[in-house]
Structure 1
């Protein structure tokens, strides 16, 4: 399964679009990794960099 890391703002309009993108990617067999769903401190860039490295693509 392919993985896509999605970085996005927390603005409500963006979140609605991201949820739709997440659903669509899941339907076609791509695992979306949403930054908002990762419960880590903002200073934990190593964890985010690791997730990006493990992903097949990044949508920012």
Structure 2
């Protein structure tokens, strides 16, 4: 049940985002981002691009 902990979610996010060959200048759109866990992880990898997260609360 590690996935349900914050540590587990962050570890899963890192494994998922590590599979993407980032260049650093991407434009990323995270639709249905919730609290933005994946968007924040992507923003850490995109140095000169943009990351936008959109959700309905």
The question of a shared fold, defined as TM-score above 0.5 by the shorter chain, is answered with no
Higher relative contact order (CA 8 A, sep 6+): 1
What TM-score range do you get, normalising by the shorter chain?
Answer: under 0.3
Q: When you count strand as a share of all residues, which structure comes out higher?
A: 1
When normalised by structure 1's length, the TM-score is: 0.27
Q: When you count helix as a share of all residues, which structure comes out higher?
A: 1
